Amino acid sequence: MVEYQQKDRYNIDDLLDIMRLLRSEGGCPWDREQTHASIKSDFIEETCEVIEAIDLKDTALLREELGDVLLQVVFHCRIEEEAENFRFDDVCDEVCKKLIIRHPHVFGEVKADTSDQVLKNWDAIKMQTKGQETYTDTLKSVAKSLPALMRAQKVGKRAMRAGMDFRTAEDAVACIANEKAELDAAVISGNKADIEEELGDLLFSCVNAARHLGIDAEQALKDSTEKFIKRFSVTEELVRKDDIDMKSLPIEELDVYWDKAKNIINKSEDNENDKD
């Protein structure tokens, strides 16, 4: 047991101290054993839970989940401090300097009255400070660890800044049909590598269309997935009411139940809208 004075209220210094104690010889065996690699998935999970709290508009949950993300930051910083590479203070110092440098319209003499001007300045400063000499460098710098749809949308946006983009949203949408035709041809050929390539191109074209239409492709797919789960749930409920095992039905009969479920949900949503 380590000596620690408990308080009614704690701050960031206390969090740093608690993490130091947890990683100490008299602390927690599990915490001592962890590395960047062993807890990296925890960082992803905690970040996703923050997003969930935002989507739910749950302030108390958001406060809790932001704390969990902060814990992950402190955890990784402590590992690096033990290796004598950097400290939490160094992380704070670097991000503060970055914010000051990238906001010359606030901390300097540069004029930027609109968000577009701010973003243009931000991109130019980012290229300079990161040593990015070409537009290709900016595309390559988009993290490969991002969800594929999110990364594709960000890459497309950066290509747009170099002038490589569709002229209109209609052109972007039309590209979907072209890519679909190429996928159809690949499916007919039966070559799996070609099918995978053309399917990827189709998905990328959908992301480009979403960007031009002002839609977040990642969120759109999340919403569609939730919609599918909701319809699936009602479909299963209808099948079970008829005392049938769902997986025993051919897809044609399941489609009939699916259409019924869709109508039930649509009517329910219409009634809710009428109440509003």
pLDDT in tens, 180-209: 999 999 999 999 999 999 999 999 999 999
pLDDT in tens, 93-104: 999 999 999 999
Can you tell me the mean pLDDT for 156-179? 94
> Is the pLDDT confidence value at 239 over 70?
yes
pTM score: 0.71
> Tell me, what's the pLDDT at 189?
95
Query: What DSSP string runs through 56-109?
Result: HT-HHHHHHHHHHHHHHHHHHHHHHHHTTS--HHHHHHHHHHHHHHT-HHHHSS
> Tell me, what's the pLDDT at 81?
97
Can you tell me the mean pLDDT for 5-27? 93
Cβ count within 10 A of residue 155? 19
Q: Could you tell me if 130 and 141 are in contact, meaning their C-beta atoms sit under 8 angstroms apart?
A: yes
> Is the pLDDT confidence value at 1 over 80?
no
Residue that wins the pLDDT comparison between 66 and 108: 66
Separation of alpha carbons 178 and 187, rounded Å:
14
Per-residue CA distances from 180 to 19, 173, 176, 195, 201 (Å): 52, 11, 6, 11, 9
> Is the pLDDT confidence value at 275 over 70?
no
> Is the pLDDT confidence value at 45 over 90?
yes
Nearest 5°: the CA angle 24, 37, 85 is 60
> Tell me, what's the pLDDT at 74?
98
Separation of alpha carbons 50 and 69, rounded Å:
8
Mean of the per-residue pLDDT values of the chain: 93
* Site of tokens 């035709």: 181
> Tell me, what's the pLDDT at 198?
97
